Structure 1
Amino acid sequence: MKLSHVATAVALAVAGSAAMAGEVEVLHWWTSGGEAKSVGELKKIMQTKGNTWKDFAVAGGGGDNAMTVLKSRVVAGNPPAAAQIKGPAIQEWAAEGVLANLDPVAKAEKWDSLLPKVVADGMKYKGNYVAAPVNVHRVNWMWANEAVLKKSGVTGVPMTWDEFFAAADKIKKAGFIPVAHGGQNWQDFTTFESVVLGVGGPKFYQDALIKLDQKALTSPTMTKSLETFRKVKGYTDAASPGRDWNLATAMVIQEKAAFQFMGDWAKGEFTAAGKVPGKDYICAAAPGTANAYTFNVDSFAMFKLKDAAAQKAQADLAAAIMGTEFQEVFNLNKGSIPVRLNMDMAKFDDCAKLSSKDFVASSKAGTLLPSIAHGMAVKPAAEGAIKDAVSQFWNDDKISVADGVKSIAKAAAIQ
């Protein structure tokens, strides 16, 4: 079936109120507490529209297991209505000719005016919407324990890397761990991208980590970024290798450590521990990155379906995902923020309000940037190679900064 045929069918389904309600099968890996609760809300919205929800949850592997199952289903000619897919992987699936054209829904719901262009472009293939975004996670956060800073004589949040290292020295002297880090390659990469953004600024981040420009990757700015990155490692504890991210967050919560560089999913851990932002802990942009925003957007790609009732249900699902009701309840549960630009943030906490304010400001300023560490910026092969090079440098102090720069530049050349 051609994309244009699907578009016509979806348009008719959206327009025709007499169309029968159908079943919508959704592949996702949101099986933990808050996430499962959020999916339940989407199911309720679909049921109120008279549709049948078929849950296709595949746990584990951060979505790797789900992708394996999805491939076999698509190859067999039996795809689900929607699947949790994000970043450049959306375009890779679309290039296979298996995704549906969501333009009729997107136009009716005015998605182009509700989404920042950089996010909308990520949901499109050859100018047509093929996926619906669910949320925005800010990646370039720094979390801090208020009590540890006070006990260490640190006043205010460090805004630059120089201020950060001065604070880290005081924290170390006071007997605390300055940086709680989980030594896993994606956590190393998360810290690395915030360092690159803080040292080089948004334009450099774009050239080096989105365009993978060799000149930027081998520049003195990248050398300075790696020097800073290595210096950060000097303030982590010896037990960090292999530690899960949430255990690193727990170190900040329990007043064992001062800072953690992690996306806003860390906030869920503070909330679960009964901690309040601005009182018990601080959320701030990583040093030097307050004027920019690295994002990780979850989304659902929609697959071509033959049945008209199923197409109608799929169109209802796309509209519900971007609707204000789901955007609010899902993101309150998940710790992320709504991807819609015009959302009322009254029910959200101070960290989410700051995130939303910066999201809107950076989308206007052109400093809203896809996170390379979280699958938003480059194709999976290059991302994996750079991630490995970054972790090798982080884990082996014998690798010189010059060799680290060469290794990362070489990895970025992998297609």
Structure 2
Amino acid sequence: MPAARPDSPTRRRAPLAASTSVSTLSTVLAAAALSFATAAHAAQVEVLHYWTSGGEAKSAQVLKQMLEKKGDTWVDFAVAGGGGGNAMTALKTRVVAGNPPAAAQIKGPAIHEWGDEGVLMPIDDVAKQDGWDRVLPPEIAAIMKYNGQYVGAPVNVHRVNWLWINADALKKVNAQPPATWDDFFRVADALKKAGITPVAIGGQPWQEAETFETVALGVGGAAFYKKAFVQLDDATLKGPTMVKALETFRRLRTYADASQTGRDWNMATAMVINGQAAMQFMGDWAKGEFTVANKVPGKDYLCVAAPGSQNAYTFNVDSFVFFKVKTPGVDKGQKDMAGLLMSPAFQQTFNLNKGSIPVRQDLDLSKFDACAKKSSADFKAAGAAGALVPSWAHDMVVSPAVEGAFYDVIGKYWSDESMTAQQAANRLAAAAKTQ
């Protein structure tokens, strides 16, 4: 949208001297115009984000360059950590101190929690002018609004329930991508026998939670997932299907390497890229790492839905919200950024780098690879079938308090073999009541 120009006071000018030449007048007017344009269009936009690895960092640079072409200045506030926990801690510190960044990478229920604090700047005028309601899926548009007004700009849709496979590793054991959990464990046994680590994972709470979430979807299906993790139904959380999901999740540990503790997700992806490991459960931001490594889908690696979850889709949407700041004129840069985030040009460039798909539903995907095209098709099919589910492990549905409590249960269950699946299920049900 056209940049909003800050009001300038009207000043009474002294008449020009009669001897002032036309050329001098032109020079004065040109300098004044340049000065005004610079003052009107330059805005420093401090951006808090956690895109710090490979394809993610490249995507952040794309946004920075586009914003600077608008005449604004990007002030980088990058906080490492793929799960975003460190970034959210830094954000809270800044907001409490009364000095929030202009923009921050926030998603899901946290958007509404910040809205309740009265610190967010509405961007509804940008959304209306650019027709966001027309091009966004309603499930995602609702997340971006507070009291009926847009306060967040979504940039993509990530599918979480992917299984990434090193194609050569699978060929070495003469296996096909596993479609069921029985298939998966048969393939994993063959890989282990061949001296290849079957599953790459990082021993961090969010990675363990995400992997469990994917297992639960594959074991129980979308209806079970919604009842357990969206509705937080007590009987479902501690019922037999949840117990089976936890038992399946526990089995995965025997196929991971012993050095997983503290490993970042992209390091686990690198294990699959270089053939040290065969498979990884991870959202499609992992594809950005394969792309940076010049690997080709269908040839070097395979992207398939995790076992049992072919007809469902767990979504994770990256988005930015904009904070009310004290510095005059920053709102111009904030609105520039909001418009760019949803622009067709940025949506295409960003998602080609990031590994995700555009959140806009009106874009041509001819430049996207086979994994992205499958993701888009599956997203639409799952939406039509009622099997589109938000990722609880990635801040999309439950409160931060419940999510943190779930993380604790899953992490302890993963590392403590003395805890039974039923005990873990009971603790999940208790965790759902966390305030």
TM-score, structure 2 as length reference = 0.85
Q: 1:238 to 1:325 in 2, by over 3 A?
A: same
CA contact 2:68–2:74 (8 Å) conserved in 1? no
CA contact 2:53–2:266 (8 Å) conserved in 1? no
AA matched with 1:344: D
- Picking from 101, 123, 126, the partner of 2:147 is 126
Instruction: Output the aligned Cα RMSD.
Output: 2.6
| Counterpart Cα distance in 2 of 1:356 and 1:369 | 15
Q: 1:37 to 1:397 in 2, by over 3 A?
A: closer
User: Which stretch of the first structure deviates more once superposed, 401-410 or 65-74?
Assistant: 65-74
AA matched with 1:328: Q
Q: 1:309 to 1:299 in 2, by over 3 A?
A: same
Listed as ranges, the gaps of 5+ residues in structure 2 are 8-35
Deviations 1:9-53 (A, max 9, x none): x99949x9x99435141322334454444333333433444x422
1:368 aligns to what?
388
- Picking from 321, 327, 342, the partner of 1:322 is 342
Listed as ranges, the gaps of 5+ residues in structure 1 are 1-9
Using the TM superposition, give the Cα deviation of residue 310 of structure 1 relative to its aligned residue in structure 2, in angstroms: 3.4
| Counterpart Cα distance in 2 of 1:68 and 1:388 | 18
Aligned positions of 1:41-120 closer than 5 A = 41-49=62-70, 51-62=71-82, 63-120=84-141
AA matched with 1:396: D
Q: 1:72 to 1:401 in 2, by over 3 A?
A: closer
SS at match of 1:236: coil
SS at match of 2:174: coil
Using the TM superposition, give the Cα deviation of residue 344 of structure 1 relative to its aligned residue in structure 2, in angstroms: 1.6
Identity of aligned residues (%): 56
2:358 aligns to what?
338
| Counterpart Cα distance in 1 of 2:277 and 2:90 | 40
SS at match of 2:304: strand
1:286 aligns to what?
306
CA contact 1:31–1:57 (8 Å) conserved in 2? no
Q: 1:398 to 1:68 in 2, by over 3 A?
A: closer
CA contact 1:144–1:258 (8 Å) conserved in 2? yes
| Counterpart Cα distance in 1 of 2:333 and 2:292 | 35
User: Which stretch of the first structure deviates more once superposed, 271-280 or 25-34?
Assistant: 25-34
Deviations 1:268-318 (A, max 9, x none): 332233321101211101011111111221111022357774334322221
Deviations 1:219-269 (A, max 9, x none): 111111112112222322333333332332233223333221111122233
2:292 aligns to what?
272
Using the TM superposition, give the Cα deviation of residue 64 of structure 1 relative to its aligned residue in structure 2, in angstroms: 4.3
SS at match of 2:41: coil
CA contact 1:178–1:257 (8 Å) conserved in 2? yes
2:169 aligns to what?
148
- Is 1:174 paired with 2:194? yes
| Counterpart Cα distance in 2 of 1:212 and 1:248 | 31
User: Which stretch of the first structure deviates more once superposed, 137-146 or 353-362?
Assistant: 353-362
CA contact 2:287–2:354 (8 Å) conserved in 1? no
CA contact 1:294–1:369 (8 Å) conserved in 2? yes
Using the TM superposition, give the Cα deviation of residue 135 of structure 1 relative to its aligned residue in structure 2, in angstroms: 1.7
CA contact 2:54–2:292 (8 Å) conserved in 1? no
Q: 1:13 to 1:307 in 2, by over 3 A?
A: farther
User: Which stretch of the first structure deviates more once superposed, 29-38 or 339-348?
Assistant: 29-38
CA contact 1:201–1:289 (8 Å) conserved in 2? yes
Q: 1:218 to 1:11 in 2, by over 3 A?
A: farther
- Is 1:386 paired with 2:406? yes
AA matched with 2:43: E
CA contact 2:55–2:289 (8 Å) conserved in 1? no
Q: 1:239 to 1:95 in 2, by over 3 A?
A: same
Q: 1:44 to 1:385 in 2, by over 3 A?
A: same
TM-score, structure 1 as length reference = 0.89
2:253 aligns to what?
233
2:280 aligns to what?
260
Deviations 1:101-145 (A, max 9, x none): 222221221212211122111111122211101122211110112
Using the TM superposition, give the Cα deviation of residue 192 of structure 1 relative to its aligned residue in structure 2, in angstroms: 0.3
Using the TM superposition, give the Cα deviation of residue 152 of structure 1 relative to its aligned residue in structure 2, in angstroms: 1.1
Q: 1:387 to 1:240 in 2, by over 3 A?
A: same
| Counterpart Cα distance in 2 of 1:355 and 1:136 | 9
AA matched with 1:207: K
User: Which stretch of the first structure deviates more once superposed, 272-281 or 130-139?
Assistant: 272-281
CA contact 1:138–1:296 (8 Å) conserved in 2? yes
SS at match of 1:270: helix
Using the TM superposition, give the Cα deviation of residue 88 of structure 1 relative to its aligned residue in structure 2, in angstroms: 1.3
| Counterpart Cα distance in 1 of 2:184 and 2:235 | 28
AA matched with 1:98: V
Using the TM superposition, give the Cα deviation of residue 322 of structure 1 relative to its aligned residue in structure 2, in angstroms: 0.2
Aligned length: 403
Larger-gyration structure (1/2): 2
Q: 1:409 to 1:342 in 2, by over 3 A?
A: same
Q: 1:73 to 1:272 in 2, by over 3 A?
A: closer
